[in-house]
């Protein structure tokens, strides 16, 4: 048996790395008795876009650790592999690992589902430092900060070994990018390399120690940690299961988007003398061919965040209103064409590389992706598929025999802010089943200001986001003075909201939500505190907690956890066996119904059935329209 004795945080660590054929399974199992939590880490090949779902991915080592020692098992050895699977499968044993990487690897490569028995240290790090997007959640950085620098040093040694390996293998070739060297290194470093084995063992020990260090730093009540741990497991299960993709529809949509955008792009480049359709330079060029950008806003053109004219597909058509010359007109027409297919191009080209060999998409779900605790998604981001083109969401299908069903909260953020602020005018309207946007119309009318319901709706959301007159002016195409007047009057008419906004704005370090989640106050690029955003953090975070509460009840009170297909901020999309649709519709609505500080929160669930009678992903609005059309057939 090879053993290594590096230190971590100044304390000696014992790493056991048995050679193939000389593995003592009894000693291994005795080192990891049941009813305990062990650090888990794996080393595999470098990953491509498909990650653990790639046919090229595989594991080489698996490591288990306590705070003091680790075993590094070689998965090439059938005996060690079997011992690893046996330990992983023991329902009395729990693990802690950093990110979903190890849990997903164990599931796809060893066939063991530990999603419900894993504590994610990255989740703990996110609870402890919600705004630390970069190093603060990375394992090496965390270990260096809280335990010791030895792991980072070991990784550096390994990186140098990879470089040396590459140079030895191809001395004539020029040194490539770091990622290429790493890919080569992870795949080719000998399984008996001491640096590799030491690094691998240290990782598992570090992760185990990190769990203990991070829990108190979260300053979170045990119940909250328990829910977050459960949720992270559910997120891993969702990613493992993935969603069915309509491959023929994807190919067709991709072909169309590619054809349209490349033809449009070619014409734009040709006429403009080499400017790509998406280059900012195209605006200058258009300015020389008849567009007067000074009048863009007056004509109703939207601006980007940086105050420049936006050529997004919603307003690119405005170009045609200018006295363009022949070239300018041709370019404008092709830009409109390009923009109308740009989103489909981006999304479908990404999807083509992300559909796994099982014909499924496996997007990740980061349960604490945002500072507010909101969940985020990547690979692809499943939470920002267009709802304008129904073919986009329609690419995703339920399992055979199942129906997709979506349950959306009704105006949850406005209700939450009304409750938190104790804004009685709003609460009364909610209790009476009225319309909060119309309430704002009526309130402002009493102060002598006439606005449309659309403007009222924008104002309502604006206030919840911490915005002011200028933002309303820019978004609603209202003169600045009028917009400022609307906002000021809004604050007068809703004094409790104004008070809450000001009270939250007093916090300069961090705010605390009612579920005791700590959210740091953020700064802008100039380093100024954005205390005006605090109210939104409180509201957005509370709404997120309500969704997770509902999900938790759905899973625990009704045993429907496996039916959750994907969460989208204020909605749960479910995948339900056909026979249970009516029953689950009722159940999920019950789980999403709350009395939040005396304010009713409710949700509406609808089955997603397309015009052809099959179930596919779509917005609830579209599903309702199709259902209505079905129940009142057209006269013929």
Partner DNA sequence: TGCCCTTGCGCG
Partner DNA sequence: AAAGCGCGCAAGGGCA
DSSP element (H, E) containing 437: helix 436-446
> Is position 360 an interface residue for DNA (rule: CB under 7 A)?
no
DSSP element (H, E) containing 453: helix 453-464
> Is position 522 an interface residue for DNA (rule: CB under 7 A)?
yes
Smallest gap from Cβ 69 to DNA, in A, equals: 35
Question: C-alpha angle with apex 139: 136 to 145, nearest 5 degrees?
Answer: 60
Smallest gap from Cβ 306 to DNA, in A, equals: 4
Smallest gap from Cβ 337 to DNA, in A, equals: 14
Q: Radius of gyration of the chain from Cα atoms?
A: 28
Token output for 209:
């120690």
- Burial of 113 (C-beta count, 10 Å sphere; 0-12/13-18/19+): middle
- Burial of 168 (C-beta count, 10 Å sphere; 0-12/13-18/19+): exposed
> Is position 366 an interface residue for DNA (rule: CB under 7 A)?
yes
Cis, peptide link before residue 380, omega less than 30° from 0: yes
Count of residues making up the chain? 636
> Is position 276 an interface residue for DNA (rule: CB under 7 A)?
yes
> Is position 419 an interface residue for DNA (rule: CB under 7 A)?
no
Q: CB under 7 A: which stretch of 118-126, 165-173, 425-433, 535-543 binds DNA?
A: 535-543
Q: CB under 7 A: which stretch of 135-143, 155-163, 526-534, 590-598 binds DNA?
A: 526-534
Smallest gap from Cβ 159 to DNA, in A, equals: 12
Q: CB under 7 A: which stretch of 59-67, 252-260, 322-330, 563-571 binds DNA?
A: 563-571
Q: Is 47 left (phi over 0), alpha (psi -120 to 50) or beta?
A: beta
Q: CB under 7 A: which stretch of 160-168, 293-301, 534-542, 624-632 binds DNA?
A: 534-542
> Is position 569 an interface residue for DNA (rule: CB under 7 A)?
yes
Strands 93-97, 36-44: pairing kind: parallel
Which residue among 169, 262, 295, 304 contacts DNA (CB under 7 A)?
304
* Nearest in space to 542 (alpha carbons), one of 414, 358, 633: 414
The number of residues that bind DNA (CB under 7 A) is: 73
> Is position 510 an interface residue for DNA (rule: CB under 7 A)?
no
> Is position 346 an interface residue for DNA (rule: CB under 7 A)?
yes
> Is position 169 an interface residue for DNA (rule: CB under 7 A)?
no
Measured between alpha carbons, how far is 15 from 3 in angstroms, rounded to an integer?
5
> Is position 602 an interface residue for DNA (rule: CB under 7 A)?
no
Measured between alpha carbons, how far is 574 from 567 in angstroms, rounded to an integer?
9
Sequence-distant (≥ 6) Cβ neighbours of residue 269 within 8 angstroms: 275, 276, 277
What is the three-class DSSP state of 317? helix
> Is position 571 an interface residue for DNA (rule: CB under 7 A)?
yes
Q: How many helices (H) and strands (E) does the chain have?
A: 23, 22
Q: Measured from the CB atom, is 133 or 299 closer to DNA?
A: 133
Token output for 635:
């006269």
Q: CB under 7 A: which stretch of 107-115, 227-235, 382-390, 433-441 binds DNA?
A: 382-390
Task: Return the bridge partners of 38, or none.
Answer: 95
Measured between alpha carbons, how far is 480 from 467 in angstroms, rounded to an integer?
13
Interface with DNA in residues 123-162 (CB under 7 A): 133
Smallest gap from Cβ 636 to DNA, in A, equals: 33
Binding mask 470-509 for DNA (x = CB under 7 A): xxx-xx--------x----------------xx--x----
* Nearest in space to 200 (alpha carbons), one of 395, 311, 43: 43
Q: Measured from the CB atom, is 276 or 598 closer to DNA?
A: 276
Which residue among 312, 431, 445, 627 contacts DNA (CB under 7 A)?
312
End-to-end Cα spacing for the chain: 83
Sequence-distant (≥ 6) Cβ neighbours of residue 326 within 8 angstroms: none
Q: CB under 7 A: which stretch of 185-193, 213-221, 231-239, 458-466 binds DNA?
A: 458-466
Q: Measured from the CB atom, is 377 or 615 closer to DNA?
A: 377
> Is position 348 an interface residue for DNA (rule: CB under 7 A)?
no
- Are 196 and 189 in contact by the 8 Å Cβ rule? The answer is yes
> Is position 622 an interface residue for DNA (rule: CB under 7 A)?
no
- Are 450 and 442 in contact by the 8 Å Cβ rule? The answer is no
> Is position 394 an interface residue for DNA (rule: CB under 7 A)?
no
Which residue among 126, 128, 436, 533 contacts DNA (CB under 7 A)?
533
Binding mask 96-125 for DNA (x = CB under 7 A): ------------------------------
Which residue among 468, 561, 577, 600 contacts DNA (CB under 7 A)?
468
> Is position 175 an interface residue for DNA (rule: CB under 7 A)?
no
* Nearest in space to 218 (alpha carbons), one of 517, 537, 509, 507: 517
Which residue among 466, 548, 606, 617 contacts DNA (CB under 7 A)?
466
Q: Measured from the CB atom, is 208 or 473 closer to DNA?
A: 473
Q: Measured from the CB atom, is 109 or 411 closer to DNA?
A: 411
Strands 571-577, 402-409: pairing kind: antiparallel
DSSP element (H, E) containing 603: strand 603-607
Which residue among 540, 542, 585, 615 contacts DNA (CB under 7 A)?
540
Interface with DNA in residues 66-85 (CB under 7 A): none
> Is position 558 an interface residue for DNA (rule: CB under 7 A)?
no
> Is position 537 an interface residue for DNA (rule: CB under 7 A)?
yes
Smallest gap from Cβ 90 to DNA, in A, equals: 33
DSSP-derived secondary structure for 534-566: HHHHHHHHHHHHHHHHHHHHHHHTT--GGGEEE
Smallest gap from Cβ 594 to DNA, in A, equals: 16
> Is position 278 an interface residue for DNA (rule: CB under 7 A)?
yes
Measured between alpha carbons, how far is 282 from 309 in angstroms, rounded to an integer?
12
Q: CB under 7 A: which stretch of 148-156, 201-209, 226-234, 308-316 binds DNA?
A: 308-316
């Amino acid at each position: 048996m090879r053993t290594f004795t590096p230190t971590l945080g100044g304390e000696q660590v014992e790493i056991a790395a048995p050679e193939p054929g000389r593995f003592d399974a009894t000693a291994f199992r005795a080192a990891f008795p049941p009813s305990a939590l062990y650090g888990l880490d794996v080393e595999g090949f470098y990953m491509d876009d498909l990650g653990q779902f790639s046919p090229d991915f595989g594991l080489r080592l698996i490591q288990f650790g306590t705070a003091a020692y680790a075993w590094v098992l070689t998965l090439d050895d059938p005996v060690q592999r079997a011992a690893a699977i046996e330990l992983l499968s023991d329902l009395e044993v729990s693990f802690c690992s950093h990110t979903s990487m190890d849990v997903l690897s164990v599931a796809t490569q060893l066939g063991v589902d530990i999603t419900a028995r894993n504590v994610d240290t990255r989740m703990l790090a996110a609870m402890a430092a919600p705004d630390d997007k970069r190093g603060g959640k990375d394992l090496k950085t965390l270990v260096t900060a809280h335990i010791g620098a030895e792991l980072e040093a070991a990784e550096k040694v390994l990186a140098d070994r990879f470089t040396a390996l590459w140079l030895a293998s191809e001395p004539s070739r020029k040194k490539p990018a770091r990622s290429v060297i790493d890919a080569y290194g992870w795949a080719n470093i000998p399984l008996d390399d001491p640096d590799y084995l030491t690094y691998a063992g240290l990782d598992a020990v570090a992760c185990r120690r990190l769990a203990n260090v991070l829990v108190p730093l979260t300053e979170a009540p045990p119940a909250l940690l328990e829910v977050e741990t459960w949720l992270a497991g559910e997120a891993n299960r969702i990613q493992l299961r993935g969603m069915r993709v309509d491959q023929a529809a994807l190919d067709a949509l991709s072909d169309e988007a590619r054809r349209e955008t490349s033809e449009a792009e070619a014409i734009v480049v040709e006429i403009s003398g080499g400017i790509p359709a998406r280059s900012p330079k195209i605006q200058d060029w258009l300015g020389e061919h008849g567009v007067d950008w000074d009048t863009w806003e007056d004509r109703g053109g939207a601006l980007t965040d940086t105050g420049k004219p936006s050529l997004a597909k919603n307003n690119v058509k405005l170009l045609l209103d200018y006295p363009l010359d022949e070239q300018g007109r041709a370019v404008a027409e092709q830009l409109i064409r390009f923009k109308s297919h740009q989103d489909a191009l981006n999304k479908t080209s990404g999807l083509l590389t992300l559909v796994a060999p099982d014909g499924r998409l496996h997007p990740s779900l980061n349960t604490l992706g945002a500072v507010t605790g909101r969940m985020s998604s990547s690979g692809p981001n499943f939470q920002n598929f267009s709802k304008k083109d129904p073919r986009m969401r329609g690419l995703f299908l339920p399992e055979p025999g199942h129906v997709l069903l979506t349950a959306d909260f009704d105006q949850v953020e406005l209700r939450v802010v009304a409750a938190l602020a104790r804004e009685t005018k709003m609460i009364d309207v909610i209790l009476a089943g009225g319309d909060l946007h119309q309430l704002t119309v009526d309130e402002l009318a009493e102060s002598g200001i006439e606005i449309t319901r659309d403007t009222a709706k924008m104002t309502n959301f604006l206030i919840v986001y911490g915005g002011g007159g200028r933002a309303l002016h820019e978004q609603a195409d209202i003169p600045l003075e009028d917009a400022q007047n609307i906002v000021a009057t809004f604050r007068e008419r809703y004094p409790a909201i104004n008070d809450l906004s000001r009270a939250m704005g007093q916090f300069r370090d961090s705010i605390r939500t009612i579920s005791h989640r700590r959210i740091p106050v953020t700064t802008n690029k100039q380093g100024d505190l954005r205390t005006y955003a605090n109210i939104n953090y409180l509201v957005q975070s509370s709404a997120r907690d309500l969704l997770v509460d509902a999900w938790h009840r759905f899973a625990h009170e009704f045993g429907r956890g496996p039916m959750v297909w994907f969460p989208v901020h204020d909605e749960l999309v479910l995948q339900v066996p056909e026979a249970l649709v009516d029953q689950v519709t009722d159940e999920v609505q019950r789980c999403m119904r709350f009395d939040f500080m005396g304010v009713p929160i409710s949700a509406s669930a609808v089955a997603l059935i397309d015009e052809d009678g099959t179930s596919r992903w779509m917005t609830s609005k579209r599903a309702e329209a199709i259902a209505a059309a079905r129940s009142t057939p057209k006269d013929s």
